[in-house]
Amino acid sequence: MNRSIAVGQVVIAGLMVAAAAAGPFPSPVPLLFVVAAVGTGNAAFPLMRTFGSALLGGTAAAAIALATVPFTTCAAPKPSPMFACTGDAPTWHLTGAVIAAGLCGASLVLARVAAQAEQAAALTMALDDLREEILRMQ
């Protein structure tokens, strides 16, 4: 894998872990960050890239689906205890969910670029082998 792609994946995973550990995000947003960090870690390795990408895509979809739920839940006459409705918790929930989805998307892009780079390298190596075989035949 290209070194810059690997560094990018490490940075994204670090941001996700830091946001889960130290961010002001109410539950369940830190869980989204943790699951996304696991997906990023898996997407960094060729053997687990498909699983990691699926985990990242699912986390991004869940984050977007959950982004506005606290606003509608807290506006109800009897708010659900699932989401915190005190202060600006709904705003932090929305912010965290959108950030989680964005970081998932960035990690997915890096995983896809890494896969394409590996395919291009394998194709180049196969073409070089074919070229050498042709030259030996002449």
Which tens digit of pLDDT belongs to each residue from 10-21?
A: 999 999 999 999
Residue whose pair of structure tokens reads 């869980």 in the numeric block: 31
Parse the chain into domains and list their residue ranges.
3-137
Structure tokens at 44: 């960094």
Give residue 1's pLDDT. Answer: 58
Q: What is the DSSP string of 42-77?
A: HHTSGGGHHHHHHHHHHHHHHHHHHTTHHHHHHHSS
Q: How far apart are CA 102 and CA 94, in angstroms?
A: 12
Using DSSP's 3-state secondary structure scheme, residue 131 falls into helix
Which residues of the chain are under the pLDDT cut of 50? Answer: none
Give residue 88's pLDDT. Answer: 85
Structure tokens at 104: 């998932």
Instruction: State the Rg of the chain over Cα.
Output: 21
Give residue 68's pLDDT. Answer: 85
Give residue 107's pLDDT. Answer: 95
Residue whose pair of structure tokens reads 């959108």 in the numeric block: 98
